[in-house]
Amino acid sequence: MAEVIVESGSGQRSLKRVIGRRVLLLFVVGDILGAGIYALVGKVAGYVGGALWLPFLVAFLLAALTATAYAELVGKYPQAAGAALYVNKAFNIPFVTFIVAFAVMMSGITSASAAARAFGGNYLAQFVTLPVVVGAFIFLGLVTLVNFAGISESIKVNVVLTIIEAFGLLVIIAIGIYALLSGDGEPSRALEFHPVNGAFLGVLGGTALAFYALLGFEDSVNLAEEAKNPQRDFPRALFGGLAVAAIIYMGVAFTATMLVDTRTLTTSSGPLLEVVKVAGLAFPPKLFALIALLAVGNTALINMLMASRLVYGMAREGIVPRIFASVHSTRSTPWVAIVFTVGVAAVLVATGDVGNLADTTVLLLLCVFMIVNVAVLVLRREQVDHEHFRAPSWMPALGALVCLVLALPVTGRGADVYIRAGVLLAIGMILWFVNRLFLSEGQSSS
């Protein structure tokens, strides 16, 4: 990548503002599209039956509430730090700031682990028969090699994979349009509503899981320092990107339920492959399986890049033990941070499945979103000297409440998900206190 750091008027170095609105929009869309829709359509159907588009629609509406908080904060503080920056400014409690940053990092690892399990399922079975865990471990190894190779190589791979994964979803929508025009499929199935545990809890559970497919929009705030006009462009890119992704997802969901019965979708680890197999519009199943594998790979690559760099950044700032800031002598990549994050991912892959790993990702980020929604209201007391988007107060307030509700066990989320999230956060707490202990000892000895 080209050097983007320039001298500011104060003598400090800052990132060059080169990213326009269209690029921001593409980044948001590309960051949202990925393993979620390829792997979880069937799982969502298990909550509501044929009307599986409904949880995706509700998830979009609820995600938009939190997006208003991010849109205001990124315009108010156009810096590349995201949720941790906002929480630090609002509450100024270092430990809380760290836990938020660590939760974001761990959500990336759980998301990558869910993607690895999806990789080892039906999509991979089109080419070779392996136990899911074995396929997932091989996949993690490949992602780690790309991550270790360097950020420039990783980003080039990411751009190509983003185009491929978007193409795969457009293929599904094209299949759906052809089915409607030719009279194939059962469109009425998309209106069949058979929720588990009643209508409200069924939709709530499906929405909590569908939320996983819409995550990623919040990552775009890390481009704030490189945007030409973040105050004007970010709100439009955020809401526009969410809307584009939601339209694509609902089109895919409608096509899936129209062409494949709910039971088959629910039990398949490659639900969109089932759509291709029965489509009247011929498309090679193996080619689509390859597209799906690459889409899943892209999600994991983005997640593991983010996670390893967050650990590295925290180590450089002295927040976690400095060994995690070690950089490889020839590849110039944070190899200790990479080993740590892939080690956690490997344990998660061995102990979870796609559904509960995705649910763990959602749970961690819902807690982060809840705090960010509160932070935007707290920071209303602080004025800045430039114009920026201001969310109606009821939207982040409702967003915080919605995140709280979706994080509760009433969604049908299993106890194992809460235990897993708790253990992951406990790892962060241990690293924090161990680091503080060594810092204290070092200061005492000096």
Q: What is the pLDDT of residue 5?
A: 38
Structure tokens at 80: 């590349």
Nearest-CA neighbor of 319 among 429, 426, 422? Answer: 429
Provide CB contacts within 8 A for 426, sequence distance 6+: none
Sign of CA dihedral 220, 225, 227, 230: positive
Q: What is the pLDDT of residue 227?
A: 64
Q: What is the 3 state secondary structure string of the chain?
A: CCCCEEECCCCCEEECCCECHHHHHHHHHHHHCCHHHHHHHHHHHHHHCCCCHHHHHHHHHHHHHHHHHHHHHHHHCCCCCCHHHHHHHHHCCHHHHHHHHHHHHHHHHHHHHHHHHHHCCHHHHCCCCCCHHHHHHHHHHHHHHHHHHCHHHHHHHHHHHHHHHHHHHHHHHHHHHHHHHHCCCCHHHHHCCCCCCCHHHHHHHHHHHHHHHHCCHHHHHHHHHHECCHHHHHHHHHHHHHHHHHHHHHHHHHHHHHHCCHHHHHHCCCHHHHHHHHCCCCCCHHHHHHHHHHHHHHHHHHHHHHHHHHHHHHHHCCCCCHHHHCCCCCCCCCHHHHHHHHHHHHHHHHHCCHHHHHHHHHHHHHHHHHHHHHHHHHHHHCCCCCCCCCCCCHHHHHHHHHHHHHHCHHHCCCHHHHHHHHHHHHHHHHHHHHHHHHHHHHHHHC
Pair 194, 266: CB distance under 8 Å: no
User: d(Cα 318, Cα 177) in Å, to the nearest integer?
Assistant: 54
Distance of CA 279 to the CA centre of its chain: 29
- The answer to whether residues 29 and 198 touch, using CB atoms and an 8 Å cutoff, is no
Give the model's pLDDT for residue 3: 36
Q: Which residue has the tokens 């919040």?
A: 218
Handedness of CA 363, 364, 365, 371 (dihedral sign): positive
Q: Is 3 exposed, middle or buried (0-12, 13-18, 19+ CB in 10 A)?
A: exposed
pLDDT in tens, the chain (446 residues): 333 333 444 444 444 555 666 777 777 787 788 777 888 888 888 888 888 889 999 999 988 999 999 889 888 887 655 788 888 889 989 899 889 989 988 998 999 899 889 888 888 888 988 898 999 999 888 888 877 776 555 556 667 777 888 899 999 999 999 988 888 878 888 888 887 777 788 888 888 888 888 887 776 666 655 667 777 778 888 888 888 888 999 999 999 999 988 888 888 878 888 899 888 777 888 999 898 888 888 778 778 877 887 788 778 777 878 888 888 777 777 888 889 999 999 999 999 888 889 899 999 999 999 999 999 999 998 887 778 888 899 999 999 999 999 999 988 888 999 999 999 999 989 988 887 777 655 545 55
Q: Can you give the pLDDT at residue 365?
A: 92
Instruction: Please tell me the distance from the alpha carbon of residue 432 to that of residue 446, in angstroms, as a whole number.
Output: 21
Q: For residue 365, with 0-12 CB atoms within 10 Å meaning exposed, 13-18 middle and 19 or more buried, which class applies?
A: buried
pLDDT reported for residue 94? 86
Six-digit token string for 13: 């170095």
Structural domains in the chain, CATH included, are 30-220+231-381+394-436 (1.20.1740.10)
Please tell me the distance from the alpha carbon of residue 292 to that of residue 306, in angstroms, as a whole number: 22
**Chain-centre distance of CA 201, in angstroms?**
24
Q: What per-residue confidence (pLDDT) applies to 162?
A: 77
Among residues 203, 207, 183, 187, the alpha carbon closest in space to that of 195 is found at 203
Q: Contact at 8 Å (CB) between 101 and 315?
A: no
Q: Residue 109 and residue 357: Cα distance in Å, rounded? A: 10
Neighbours of 385 (CB within 10 A): 4
- Supply the pLDDT for residue 7: 40
In which residue are the tokens 């204290």 written? 440
